[in-house]
Amino acid sequence: MAQDTDIRQLDVYTNGIKQGVLSKDGLIYDFTYQTPSELVSLIMPTNKLNWRSLPGVLHPSFQMNLPEGALKDKIKEHFGKVTTMDDMGLLGLVGPHMLGRIKFGSQKSTGPRNKQIEISELLNPAEADYFEALMETYALKSGISGVQPKVLIEAMDRHTLKLENLIVKAWTEEYPELAANEYFCMRACLHAGLDVPAFYMSNDRKMFIMKRFDIHEDRYLGFEDMCSILSKGTDAKYEGSYEDIAKVLKNGVADSSESLEQLLKALIMNHLLRNGDAHLKNFGLVYEGNGEKCRMAPIYDVVTTTVYKPKDVPALKLSGGRKWWVEKTYSNFAKMTCKISDKRYYEIIDECESGVAKAKEEIDEFKKEHPDFSTFADKLLEQWQECFSSQLGLKKAVCELEKMNQHQKQNNE
């Protein structure tokens, strides 16, 4: 009979340096810094050495590292008879192997290093169940949350001769063509000028591949999603508002004006692409060491959810409601919350609409080369919105006229 191990204490490391100890006593999780060189979380600064959790709730900053969904099921399947599968048990299993800034349990992975694969192998998988094979090989290294099946791997880029940390995602039969859905949504975001990570789609359209954005040279940067920053557990990712995220950006980043523009543009793109899953875990901050150079993280996980759930609505509230808002709601959010001028607001609208239009052209070209994609592509494009309303053009014209009158008045003076 396998021995059941109950983990009650774990060392916590950032970039290979021990910062403290996480322990559990009854229902209470307790993290204590021990001669720290850098913080483990933006909401757990080193000027306070001891951080105790609420009863039965792991610190949100550490919850962020727990696997979810298919990945969690895979780990439980393999190790459920060996160790207690509470949060400490999961961290004890995946923590030493994580490819990221924070590790739990030991400074180095206790297992053998996985065989390197090339990015080209991911783009051109040799077998139908390639992703399932990746799950078997890399599950322990994939300390990455989210319910969509995904793994975190190291792959060799033959062209740059660099090891890249990649997030590889697949989907269940419940969500057909999800990789292509995300790929073309991200293409639209890229064309709109949003900061996005490098991303790819496998040639069989079964996997979406994204480079991690929390790596600078040979060090991992700090990354925390908005659940962590707002001290909310993972289960509360749909509780809150986009105003909450804007407030974090105003108070927590060096160049808040640029980050607020990115937030506004992301919300408009989510509206045009009908992404109803832009929750708190899909926005975050990236920073160095002790919170230096803190900035809004690139935009990720953008998909058209209404193609699967026609009645889907936005993930968070805006202006007190949760619906596909009219253009005036975004205008007010831009002016009152983000302090963005009318001129810049209309420029952002144009950039977003242009981004969607360019992605539509790419989909039309892709359909010609892949006729079997046409049926889903047509359903996807039916969901995409070309613009907010016919009244928006009139508003832009009025804004331009006001600017011209103001300019003429200045010249006359």
Helix (H, G, I), strand (E, B) or coil at 287: strand
pLDDT at 124: 74
pLDDT at 366: 97
Total length of the chain: 413
pTM: 0.85
Distance CA(70)–CA(150), nearest Å, equals 8
pLDDT at 154: 59
pLDDT at 159: 43
Helix (H, G, I), strand (E, B) or coil at 390: coil
Helix (H, G, I), strand (E, B) or coil at 25: strand
Query: Which residue matches tokens 């926005």?
Result: 283
Question: What percent of the chain stands above pLDDT 90?
Answer: 56
The class of domain 115-209 in CATH terms is alpha beta
What radius of gyration do the chain's Cα atoms show?
A: 23
Question: Phi/psi at 50 (nearest 5 deg)?
Answer: -115, 130
Point out the least confidently predicted range of 158-167, 185-194, 360-369.
158-167
CATH architecture of 221-381: Orthogonal Bundle (1.10)
**CB burial class (10 A; 0-12, 13-18, 19+) of residue 411?**
exposed
Helix (H, G, I), strand (E, B) or coil at 59: coil
The whole-chain average pLDDT of the chain stands at 84
Those residues whose C-beta lies under 8 Å from the C-beta of residue 49, and which sit 6 or more positions away, are 32, 33
Over the stretch 47-91, which tens digit does the pLDDT of each residue have?
A: 999 999 999 999 999 998 887 766 677 676 666 555 667 888 888
Q: How far is CA 300 from the centre of its chain?
A: 5
In degrees, rounded to 5, the angle at the alpha carbon of residue 68 between the alpha carbons of residues 65 and 74 is 115
Q: Tell me what the mean pLDDT of segment 288-294 comes to.
A: 92
313 residue type, one letter = V
**CB burial class (10 A; 0-12, 13-18, 19+) of residue 156?**
middle
Per DSSP (E only), the strands in 34-131 are: 50-52, 102-104, 117-118
Closest CA to 280 of 60, 40, 110: 60
Distance CA(215)–CA(401), nearest Å, equals 46
pLDDT at residue 404 tops 70: no
C-alpha distances (whole Å) from 322 to each of 7, 131, 299, 330 are: 41, 35, 21, 13
Q: Tell me what the mean pLDDT of segment 288-301 comes to.
A: 94
Point out the least confidently predicted range of 176-185, 278-287, 401-410.
401-410
pLDDT at 394: 52
pLDDT at residue 270 tops 90: yes
pLDDT at 147: 43
Distance CA(319)–CA(321), nearest Å, equals 6
**pLDDT top residue among 139 and 352:** 352
Distance CA(140)–CA(95), nearest Å, equals 8
- The terminus-to-terminus CA distance of the chain in angstroms comes to 91
pLDDT at 250: 96
pLDDT at 386: 67
335 residue type, one letter = K
Over the stretch 233-265, which tens digit does the pLDDT of each residue have?
A: 888 999 999 999 999 999 999 889 999 999 999
pLDDT at residue 405 tops 90: no
pLDDT at 115: 52
pLDDT at 108: 47
Sign of CA dihedral 188, 191, 197, 201: positive
pLDDT at residue 122 tops 60: yes
Point out the least confidently predicted range of 45-59, 116-130, 194-208, 384-398.
384-398
Query: Which residue matches tokens 């001028």?
Result: 341
pLDDT at residue 17 tops 80: yes
Region(s) of the chain under CATH 1.10.1070: 221-381
Q: How many CA atoms lie within 13 A of 257 on its CB side?
A: 5
**CB burial class (10 A; 0-12, 13-18, 19+) of residue 141?**
buried
Those residues whose C-beta lies under 8 Å from the C-beta of residue 375, and which sit 6 or more positions away, are none
C-alpha distances (whole Å) from 348 to each of 260, 268, 301, 357, 382 are: 12, 9, 21, 14, 23
pLDDT at 167: 83
Question: Phi/psi at 22 (nearest 5 deg)?
Answer: -105, 125
Cβ of 182: how many Cβ atoms within 10 Å?
23
Region(s) of the chain under CATH 3.30.200: 115-209
Over the stretch 317-340, which tens digit does the pLDDT of each residue have?
A: 999 999 999 888 999 999 999 999
Question: Phi/psi at 411 (nearest 5 deg)?
Answer: -65, -40
